[in-house]
A and B are shown apart, each in its own frame.
Chain A
């Protein structure tokens, strides 16, 4: 029991307060607050998805929203608007066009499709040197955006697909967030995760002890692509709509900002980043809509929120490069005598210090 607490402490410390917070919100929060929190949890899925690759490999990816879009559209094809589909998306294969699929299998196949695309593109991208790979992920995002924006008969181009069943409530979002956090945590402690983290710290040294940069990066890229896909599915079934424009640079920037602010080298960092940025977004969204302080009414001009986010991100990069959490997990408090407990935990600490 103690062992489990120590091994999974950093995860539990993140998950338990999250569940408590959601339970309280569900009881006492207003419906707007409830909605904002659900959105924040979906962002958490995106952030953790990107973290699985970026945090462990040290490479950047601008392409993950492509996987989110792929999964979101796949979900729309399977579950959306049985009546309109044959007309608006006439290019779909018969089986998709004529049928509507149950929600859970649809979500799973969508996520799997995102994973397959991530695997295939990763096969090419992960061959490149670190920086080359980071930039080429951008090519991925642009390719997908161009294709989906123009493939009218299947994606309805840049118009929005409306009428997906809405089932993502606060609790569904929470369940998925907890699931992906667990996946991320288990992965980063697995031998593959540790090997990948070794390549992050020193490519040459890691390669010299027989770690394959290529396969480790590819594994993480595929896994994180799937998680990003799950985020896309959640977003689709939360909004009830899918549009390619919502999976482009703005969302990429937002997810990246969350990782930078929290610290992209630890799971705790991703969670803290999402919390901080979501708070800022909601405060400024209200302010842009207009607040009244006594007799004075004022509204911030649209765009203030983005400006503040970008400035915050820059300040963090300049003054606290590793983000708020500085690459640390929140460790389970323990007595000195048991501090030597698990060697895995020690490796992690060493790893974090480097």
Chain B
């Protein structure tokens, strides 16, 4: 029983993490029909900004050397800037393109950022140690929970609630939801396109920055491809949630995260390496039953 509670906390922590990434992707998809591959590289770049670019595998700290509050601000600020820059330089000129073209262009942006990172930091994985104290397990009512899981869960839940409040209560949030629902109509009703899209990217940047920090605290590793797995998970989360539905993105993120954690625990040991394949297979199975995703919105089908 105790063990089960621990597993569930694990699952929820992972689920809420993926829900955050999926929400970032869902927001941007909602306002401009862009499935943003580069989200992965926002995360990676955020993590790499902690260290000084050298070829060493245990590099000296850059942002990581700042006090915790400043470090968080610096990393999130930098990733947000990066997200806004990619929007301004690469995605804005393509705004009128069809989703397939946008998808390819985000793939190109992602590849560009990856090669840039390889060029600056070298291709080898690196070790970095921040927030070491947070990895200590916490005893709570007889259950030992790794501190990082607790932190991830708290941060993710707080951000999710904050985002929901932002989207539901503030005028800008409402504009954003309106734009995600029907961009043309929202524009006709006076929602400024550039601002809404910029805000969606800024939020996706803030989320990416946070996630990169959580990741580094958890694993202590930096690698060029570190952002890819969570973002690919988040892609499938938005697809099974229903493309264009923000609630769907969160739900989908929870589903893939929880499924992944449960498979990790309950698969027989020699099959555990195939966990990701199991989750992605599950994605395809869900799609087989509900091709439009769990929550279907008007955005899912192209209008005639």
Where the two chains meet, the residues of A that have a C-beta atom closer than 8 Å to any C-beta of B are: 58-60, 62, 124-125, 127-132, 134-136, 138-139, 142-143, 146-147, 149-150, 203-204, 249, 253, 256-257, 260, 301-304, 306-307, 309-311, 313-314, 317-318, 321
- Is B166 engaged at the interface, CB distance under 8 Å to the other chain? no
Closest residue on chain A to residue B116 by CB atoms: A307
Name the residue in A124, A136, A257, A301 with the highest tally of chain B Cβ atoms < 10 Å from its Cβ.
A136
Closest residue on chain B to residue A313 by CB atoms: B108
* Bound Cα distance A306, B112 (Å): 7
User: Is there an interface contact between B119 and A142, defined as CB atoms closer than 8 Å?
Assistant: no
Q: Known contacts being A204-B304, A303-B115, A303-B118, is A132 close to B239, with CB within 8 Å?
A: yes
User: Is there an interface contact between B301 and A129, defined as CB atoms closer than 8 Å?
Assistant: yes
| Contact count band on B | 35 or more
User: Is there an interface contact between A135 and B239, defined as CB atoms closer than 8 Å?
Assistant: yes
B87 to chain A, nearest CB (A): 13
User: Is there an interface contact between B274 and A150, defined as CB atoms closer than 8 Å?
Assistant: yes
Contacting B101 at CB < 8 Å: which of A203, A311, A321? A321
Residues in B neighbouring A310, C-beta threshold 8 A:
108-109, 111-112, 115
- Is B276 engaged at the interface, CB distance under 8 Å to the other chain? yes
User: Is there an interface contact between A136 and B284, defined as CB atoms closer than 8 Å?
Assistant: yes
Residues in B neighbouring A311, C-beta threshold 8 A:
112
User: Is there an interface contact between B277 and A132, defined as CB atoms closer than 8 Å?
Assistant: no
Q: A60-B103, A128-B239, A146-B273 are in contact. List 10 more A-B contacts (CB 8 A).
A: A62-B107, A130-B302, A135-B239, A143-B281, A150-B273, A260-B108, A301-B119, A304-B119, A313-B105, A321-B97
B interface, over-half SS? helix
User: Is there an interface contact between B293 and A132, defined as CB atoms closer than 8 Å?
Assistant: yes
Residues in A neighbouring B232, C-beta threshold 8 A:
138, 142
Closest residue on chain B to residue A306 by CB atoms: B115
A244 to chain B, nearest CB (A): 13
Residues in A neighbouring B101, C-beta threshold 8 A:
317, 321
Residues in B neighbouring A309, C-beta threshold 8 A:
111
- Is B201 engaged at the interface, CB distance under 8 Å to the other chain? no
Residues in A neighbouring B112, C-beta threshold 8 A:
307, 310-311, 314
* Bound Cα distance A249, B229 (Å): 12
Contacts of B83-101 to chain A: CB distance below 8 A: 90, 93-94, 97, 99-101
Can you list 20 A-B contacts with CB-CB less than 8 angstroms, sorted by A residue number? A124-B284, A125-B284, A127-B291, A128-B239, A129-B291, A129-B302, A131-B99, A131-B243, A132-B287, A136-B239, A139-B284, A142-B280, A143-B276, A146-B276, A147-B274, A304-B119, A306-B118, A310-B108, A314-B90, A321-B97
A126 to chain B, nearest CB (A): 10
Contacting B280 at CB < 8 Å: which of A58, A139, A301? A139
Closest residue on chain A to residue B98 by CB atoms: A58
* Bound Cα distance A321, B293 (Å): 30
Closest residue on chain B to residue A307 by CB atoms: B115
User: Is there an interface contact between B108 and A257, defined as CB atoms closer than 8 Å?
Assistant: yes
Q: Known contacts being A146-B276, A253-B111, A303-B119, is A131 close to B100, with CB within 8 Å?
A: yes
Residues in A neighbouring B105, C-beta threshold 8 A:
313-314, 317-318
User: Is there an interface contact between B304 and A256, defined as CB atoms closer than 8 Å?
Assistant: no
- Is B235 engaged at the interface, CB distance under 8 Å to the other chain? yes
* Bound Cα distance A311, B113 (Å): 10
* Bound Cα distance A13, B104 (Å): 29
Residues in B neighbouring A130, C-beta threshold 8 A:
99-100, 302
Residues in A neighbouring B302, C-beta threshold 8 A:
129-130, 203-204
User: Is there an interface contact between B236 and A139, defined as CB atoms closer than 8 Å?
Assistant: yes
Contacts of B263-304 to chain A: CB distance below 8 A: 273-277, 280-281, 283-284, 287-288, 291-293, 300-302, 304
* Bound Cα distance A310, B108 (Å): 5
Closest residue on chain A to residue B96 by CB atoms: A321
B93 to chain A, nearest CB (A): 5
* Bound Cα distance A318, B104 (Å): 11
Residues in A neighbouring B60, C-beta threshold 8 A:
none
Contacting A318 at CB < 8 Å: which of B94, B274, B288? B94
A58 to chain B, nearest CB (A): 7
Residues in A neighbouring B301, C-beta threshold 8 A:
129
- Is B35 engaged at the interface, CB distance under 8 Å to the other chain? yes
Residues in A neighbouring B243, C-beta threshold 8 A:
129, 131-132
Closest residue on chain A to residue B105 by CB atoms: A317
